[in-house]
Amino acid sequence: MRIGILGAGQMARALGGGWAAAGHEIVVGARTSAAAAAAAAEIGPSARPGTIAEAASFGDATLLAVPVPALDEILTAHREAFADRILIDCTNAFAPDTGGFGLSEPAVAERISASAPGARVVKAFNLLAAEVWAGPNREFEGRPLTVALCGDDAAAVAAVAGLAEDLKLRPVPAGGLSRARYLEATAAFVVGLWFAGHDARAMFPPLESAFAVPDDSEGLPMSRE
């Protein structure tokens, strides 16, 4: 796949590096050519540097790897380029590094979708740190590392699921874009726990111990509300 990445920071490098290693062609767009060149060099030989505009109009899918406050400017400037494009939203509306664990807005992915008509928005990869996405561990305590995906466009969700598999992750389609706000709130909640030194994982028993799971191996359909 051809993937444009907006932003040249930690998430751009973590996800872009994995996708480049899996054979995808990448244009990484940044505000300065030096930042784009440094990120592309780190991502790998199948990545090349570009401007934000070049990355926004490159290929089949675009990763938004910028801070939430940057989205307005980017969505306004590149709205037309995003029409019909898969937009992968990994953003979080909180800033843990500066001690902020409250969301500055409740539903970023839905706002992106409303601001970019025709874009096929998929929320994904916001829950874990860039170091985890870039790291070697894909199983913890026998459980495969899983990435939840929320989006309304089934083909776009399937494409991003494929990109998750390319990172050796287990994708789980987790409902429509209206559920992305819960994924965003979960990130703020869980990251707050981790930063406070608590083991958030210990709050979640394995599926078989969570409650009475239906015998039907298909389970119940995922809610879209």
Binding site for ligand NAP (CB under 6 A): 7-12, 30-31, 35, 52, 65-68, 70, 73-74, 90-92, 126, 129-130
Residue 172 bridge partners (DSSP): 148
Residue 68 CB, shortest distance to ligand NAP, in Å, is: 5
| ∠ Cα 224 88 90 (to 5°) | 90
Residue 189 bridge partners (DSSP): none
Residue 77 CB, shortest distance to ligand NAP, in Å, is: 9
Residue 30 CB, shortest distance to ligand NAP, in Å, is: 5
Residue 187 CB, shortest distance to ligand NAP, in Å, is: 7
Closest-approach residue to ligand NAP (CB): 9
Nearer to ligand NAP, 154 or 172 (CB): 172
Nearer to ligand NAP, 68 or 87 (CB): 68
Q: Is the distance from CB of 51 to CB of 35 less than 8 angstroms? A: no
The CA distance from 136 to 9, in Å, is 19
Nearer to ligand NAP, 129 or 193 (CB): 129
Residue 66 CB, shortest distance to ligand NAP, in Å, is: 4
Residue 207 CB, shortest distance to ligand NAP, in Å, is: 24
Nearer to ligand NAP, 28 or 155 (CB): 28
Nearer to ligand NAP, 67 or 144 (CB): 67
Nearer to ligand NAP, 92 or 156 (CB): 92
Q: Is the distance from CB of 170 to CB of 149 less than 8 angstroms? A: no
